[in-house]
Amino acid sequence: MDDFKLAPNPHFHGVSGPLLLVIMDGVGLYRGRAEGYPANAVDLAATPNLDRLLAAAPVRLKLEAHGPAVGLPDEGDMGNSEVGHNAMGAGRIFAQGAKLVADAIESGAIFEGAAWRRMVSEVRASGGALHLLGLVSDGNVHSHIDHVVALAERAAAEGIKRIRLHALADGRDVDPVSFHLYVERLERVFRDLEGVGCDAAIASGGGRMTITMDRYNANWEMVRLGWETHVLGRGRGFADAMEAITTLRREQPGIIDQDLPPFVIHDREGRPLGRIEDGDGVVFFNFRGDRAIEISRAFTEESFERFDRVRWPRVTYAGMMEYDGDLGIPPLYLVQPPAISKTVSEYLVHNGVAQLATAETQKFGHVTYFWNGNNSEKFDQELEDWIEVPSDVIPFENAPAMKAHEVCRVVLEGLEADRYRFLRVNFANGDMVGHTGVLEAAIEAMETVDSCLGLLEEKIATVGGTMIVTADHGNLDMMLEVDRKTGEIKLGTDGIPVVKTSHTLSPVPWLLTGRDAEGFEANPAVERPGLGNVAATLLLLLGFQPPADYLPPLIVRRS
């Protein structure tokens, strides 16, 4: 197609061997022991290969990976793997879920849309309940509590008489023990709704890593357990959410919110307060897609075989956004997702470039679906190979190496095959283990990634290739919470440092090494390098002129 035809670069015909992009998920650049911070797993780990590259790679940069640099509303918004891979693959910055939803609520457009109008109309006509299901926090990575409040208040104002909230605890993108604070706020909001004749209450809940929010088909048992909790009303009963949280924390000292067991709220007669029934409406209010697809499938697919639903209530179901554009999941959604087209992979296949993408299950969608602009299908069956290494279903702190060595082996074999001009790989360890808050495990995870980095660097030298090493956002570079104003480690009420399980605002490394790396230097025209500059850089290294609407490349030829 002429629209995708790239002009050759007149100054550089492309690297002489394969080009490998290594994405160390969750590996940011933050201060370490020498700067007074004792809990940076990257700093504490033995990483001779990364250390060497940080000190001596021919091109060494720091990239912005949060806030507006990846399409999020402001500088205080942490980046994440989805927006990071979107930015790297698209070569431009698109407004992402958090901003799109916030803008739609502020303007009122979300409530004028056909999906919301249908939801309200059908629930009012049936006399059923409106169920709001999703992650309750202000982490702004998967969802935001402000969006939940706005939906509930608007529904009540439009005559919905019964609202039930199924609240998933975060503790991953926010402080690890903070769920009760969000519950308290929502219970205040719900009490206020009584004044307009709306019966609103929390009906069920549980930790995000325990129920409902599985992704990439890694553990459908989580989704089944969520279905039983939210839809069937089966599970341990409590009088209210605060009783559930207090009891579960007392019974399991040290448990963090993301791991809370499921709970069901019962009425005074001991019956589930908010089972989902025929004629009800359900809004899954997460805006991010990866952990929303599976539960959406359970609600919307008639021929569903992943688990026994026991019963399938006929409800009006809507996602906050469309979670998979190719597969149309879900069919009904409140806010249009960013329309990302002409990604770097699409350009490459139209210019005859063979590619390999690989990762283990936990991040496979990031180097495929998100990299390709939220598209789950290949652009070319012949020129693209996607290889997924199945992740183990095991707590990541118990196996910090995860499947890094197996993923590394796929890349090594791909380089030996002499088939691929461009290869990309994601190592999930830094993010998935960083989220556990276990420093020792995070150190081991980083050391595992570094060992793979060394093997890949050796192979790149053998095949005469060029390698880029970068990350999509920070995580294990900060394993204890830091007060943003003072820079000091935050202490809990017990005087103990607060464990950090969320992403960071840290920049990420961008390192260029290999046969042709010496011929490049940082592009002086790029004042604030970010992940969005990666795609144009790849095209430059492959011998093409980037499209005019792409952000400029990070490097230029040495004069």
User: Among all residues, which ones are annotated catalytic?
Assistant: 81
- Residues 30 and 504 sit within 8 Å (Cβ to Cβ): yes
Q: Which of 528, 521, 511 is nearest to 556 (CA)?
A: 521
- DSSP letters spanning 98-123: HHHHHHHHHHTHHHHSHHHHHHHHHH
- Residues 297 and 304 sit within 8 Å (Cβ to Cβ): yes
- Residues 58 and 514 sit within 8 Å (Cβ to Cβ): no
Q: Report the C-alpha gap between 531 and 551 in whole angstroms.
A: 10
Write down the number of H helices and E strands in the chain: 17, 17
At 545, the amino acid letter reads Q
- Residues 405 and 452 sit within 8 Å (Cβ to Cβ): yes
Tell whether omega for the bond before 330 is within 30 degrees of 0, i.e. cis: yes
Q: Report the C-alpha gap between 290 and 378 in whole angstroms.
A: 18
Residues in the chain: 559
How many CB atoms are located within 10 Å of the residue 416 CB?
A: 11
Burial category of 454 from C-beta neighbours within 10 Å (exposed 0-12, middle 13-18, buried 19 and up): middle
Phi and psi at residue 167, in whole multiples of 5°? -100, 115
Q: Report the C-alpha gap between 156 and 179 in whole angstroms.
A: 24
Measure CA of the first residue to CA of the last residue in the chain; give whole Å: 34
How many CB atoms are located within 10 Å of the residue 237 CB?
A: 18
Strands (E), 485-543: 508-514, 520-522
Sheet containing 19-24: order of strands: 59-63, 508-514, 466-470, 19-24, 422-427, 355-360, 384-389
